[in-house]
Amino acid sequence: MTTEELATIVEKVTHQQIESQTLEVKAAHGGNPKKIYDTLSSFSNQDDGGILLFGIDEKMGFEKVGVDDPRDLQNKIVEQCNEMIPKIRPLITIYEEDGKFFLTAEIPAIDSVDRPCYYAGKGRLKGSYIRVGQSDEPMTEYEIFSYEAFRKEYREDIRLEERANESSLDQDAVQRYLFKLRENKPNLAKLDDHQILNLMSMVVDGHPTIRSILLFCPYPQAFFPQLTINAVSVPGTQIGDIGINHERFTDNKRIEGTIEDMLSGTLAFIKNNMKVSTIVDAQTGLRKDSADYPMVAIREVVLNALVHRDYSIHTEGMPIQVLMFTDRIEIKNPGGLYGKITLDQLGKIQPDTRNPVLATTMEVLSLTENRYSGIPTIFRSLKEGGNPDPVFESSRGIFTVTLRKRSASETLQNSRGDTSSFGQFILEFCKTPKTRKEIADYCAFKSVSYLYKMYVAPLVEKKLLLMSNPEHPKSPTQTYTTATEYFISS
């Protein structure tokens, strides 16, 4: 960092008076803060690292107090960095302004293989921290385990379930899988069933692995009750919103069975609760279905959740969640990003695979391609459907994918010049009475008068839209409703 960059940070912090995910302020006016281990740990354990800024007093309204002895402070910071495991190599910058010294310590992110970074004096379990907004929070036991699982290559998908035996599996389903294996893998053709089951980590020492139970057991939840998908449809934009009949959920289902059962069951749930409208062109009589979300994208997101969730003992009590709101769908699965990949790299590079044996088995069963094409497929299908890009989040052991509905501007961005096409969109929206302002907001128009002149008025003239008060067309309480003979919605 240059002194000019440090000066800019000082001015920005004192003006905005706030810390951030990657910036921590310390006064250090009377010497080095005794405990910066928590922040050193949390910054080291996040991909962007972080900056410690000394010489600003948060308790005094982010006043510029400066540090007394910048060189001594620098030495003490380095000493504390050397007490971390692994050791941290900070980049120190000193800046003087109006006789006051300010100092920054840039803390680099450590490699995922070496995480978590922790204070040796507390040990790994108590000295590991993670940055959450402006605070340093102790890592959970699971967060620490997740780094260890990647570093030591734990394979939870082939973990044995000693309560089950070979008879716990659907033998017809197993035989179909063995047939496909022999058909596609010549090296296995000469082996008997028992040898293949053992070699492919399906059944070991008489006990099936968790992957075999999830794919071939008639009812996997007999052994793992919470390895399910819990799906709800909410009559609003957040949990807690209620519908017109005071219902908290318009649909609520616990989806069980094998991975294939849960995939098909979840797709059916989403499709049943997703609005699909059919618009009839009054001139051509042609019907066109328009869904809120492309099912291709939905399938890939749900499939990824099932394949890449964490199946360790730490999370086997946590189901996948599907939350359908009126403006979006959120799909949450236990287990954050796995390995070295970052959120911005999703779909661009080949990631590490948390459950490689499970993924390979599902490829043989033709449930997935296992060619890392899922994320690009999601982006492409959403774009083709007029939906915004997906939003990916990985926080504290939960990976969330958010898909949003198409807005009027995105759905019809190429059809505003076509009065008939855009008019159909307005007619669909006005199946219940709407004001001019409501129509303009829904269609993403800033000018209500322009929207009315170009699109609403022609529909009124054609008697496709009916006014609530036709005798006073400019009434501020005027609403518009689609004439039923020209609009069909399913």
Tens-digit pLDDT profile for residues 378-391: 999 998 888 889 99
Neighbours of 318 (CB within 10 A): 20
| Secondary structure (DSSP) of 212-270 | HHHHH-S-GGGT-TT-SEEEEE-SSSSTT---TT--S-SEEEEE-SSHHHHHHHHHHHH
Residue 459: closest CA among 409, 425, 413, 414: 425
* Whole-number pLDDT of residue 382: 92
- Residue 331, H or E segment: strand 328-334
CB-based contact 230:321 (threshold 8 Å): yes
Q: Give the residue range(s) of CATH 3.30.950.30 domains in the chain.
A: 3-139
3 state SS of 105: strand
When pLDDT is cut at 50, 70 and 90, the band that residue 421 belongs to is low
**Residue 97 burial by Cβ neighbours in a 10 Å radius (0-12, 13-18, 19+):** middle
User: Has residue 282 got a pLDDT over 80?
Assistant: no
356-380 per-position pLDDT tens digit: 999 999 999 988 877 778 899 999 9
Does domain 229-277+288-408 fall under CATH 3.40.50.2000? My reply is: no
pLDDT 10s digits, 112-149: 899 999 999 999 999 999 999 899 999 999 999 999 99
CATH architecture of 3-139: 2-Layer Sandwich (3.30)
> What pLDDT score was predicted for residue 409?
46
Would you tell me which CATH number, out of the four given (1.10.3470, 1.10.287, 1.10.357, 1.10.10), belongs to the domain 411-486?
Answer: 1.10.10
Give the other-Cβ count within 10 Å of 433's Cβ: 14
Indicate the pLDDT class of residue 437, thresholds 50, 70 and 90: confident
Give CATH 1.10.10 domain extents, the chain.
411-486
Quick one: tokens of 377? 């497929």
